[in-house]
Amino acid sequence: MIVLMYLYFFIILLTSSFSAATNNKVNEINANCEDGPLDIKIMKQLDIRIGGKKWDHNLNELIQSNIREAITSNPKNTPNILEPTPEIDVRNGTPEEPNVVIDWTSETDSKRIINQLDSITSKLQNVQNVCQKSECGSAGSVENLNVYNSDICNREVGISKPQFCEVLEENTGVKKNLAKNCREVQERGHNKSGIYEIQPKSSVKPIFVLCDMVTKGGGWTVIQKRFDGSEDFFREWRDYKFGFGNLHREFWIGLENIYQLTGFQVSELLVEITDRDKIKAYANYNRFGIGPETDGYPLNILAGFSGDAGDSLTPHLSSKFSTKDIDQDKHAVHCAQVYLGGWWYAGCHVSNLNGKFINMALPEAYKFKGLHWLGFRGHEYCHAGSRMLVRPVQS
């Protein structure tokens, strides 16, 4: 009886805490999403450990085991245990009855506790069922590549980990037919700029990217964005390889992703420079591509310049990428360390869009260490923002 009472109060506490936390989080998320309420999936299920015993994701099993222990330790209160009914199926949306029915023939208080435990189990199961829906939205939204336009909907780029939507595909049987790039997203009728899930043809897994559907015809995948200095771009090789930042703010999409987007098809590059007076200029290259990591992610394709920002990237053609911990430039000094960025440094640069964000006239100590693009405002001028965008060349 004492064991059952402890178990009863444990379940009451667990249920109230779990339900409150879940409801609060769902309400918080829905309040922050501009496109309406989201279906949320809690990926980590419940693990329970009591007295050295462990039950993974199965509260029913926990309750039944403790009931059996109570029966063993109190044989005079032994109930009649009926045949088991089917186990609870958390996937069907409506839980079945608990899989063991206990008919107590004595101890009115014990019977009341068992009944309330059954009720608590059912309520907790309903909470879990609510949480089974995916954080990526409905199956239709994944298949149709809907835009996620709030911070809770976005994904940080570049981190090597499974995407939540892969779990949705396993659970629902949905066959995702993802676009290979933002131009293909646009060709499928999506004309709103925002975050989409794509999978480049040669990529082993999908990625989330920011698509620009407005600038110069749209269909651009944004690979770099800076505008407020909120993200540190003086980083090591691994960060530049996989990417860093926030798709809604400043970010670098990752060299590996740039390679997957440009290394296997003819692509073009658009560079957008914003000066400290918020005046923009553009450099467009109708041929752009980088090589694989084994070659140092070199800038090996660049041609067909046009635009009003001047050509400040061609001098970097054939250069390998360098970071603060990997020196692959053509100069005796370590250019990435000297100029505080990660770039296709040659000897060292006439452009440095991943340099230190300063957004002011540079003091002598930071000369040439900011966001520079020689062809627009001169080499010493430090710009206030930049974007780099790629898309396949239409045949």
Instruction: Give the whole-angstrom CA distance, residue 104 versus residue 203.
Output: 60
CB 83 within 8 A of CB 102: no
127, two tokens: 């909470």
Per-residue pLDDT of the chain (395 residues; tens, 9 = 90+): 554 555 555 555 554 554 455 455 445 544 444 444 444 333 334 444 444 444 444 555 555 555 555 555 555 544 443 333 333 333 333 333 333 344 444 456 556 666 766 766 666 666 555 544 433 333 333 333 333 333 333 343 333 333 333 333 333 344 579 999 999 999 999 999 999 999 999 899 999 999 999 999 999 999 999 999 999 999 999 999 999 999 999 999 999 999 999 999 999 999 999 999 999 999 999 999 999 999 999 999 999 999 999 999 999 999 999 999 999 999 999 999 999 999 999 989 999 999 999 887 767 777 888 899 999 999 889 999 999 999 999 87
Examine residue 382 and say whether the peptide bond preceding it is cis (omega within 30 degrees of 0): no
pTM of the model: 0.59
Please tell me the predicted confidence (pLDDT) of residue 394. 87
Cβ-proximal residues to 316 (8 Å cutoff; 6+ apart), any chain = 299, 302, 343, 344, 345, 346, 349, 350, 351
Closest CA to 331 of 353, 350, 346, 316: 346
Please tell me the predicted confidence (pLDDT) of residue 366. 75
The phi-psi region of residue 81 (left if phi > 0; otherwise alpha if psi is between -120 and 50; otherwise beta) is beta
Please tell me the predicted confidence (pLDDT) of residue 360. 75
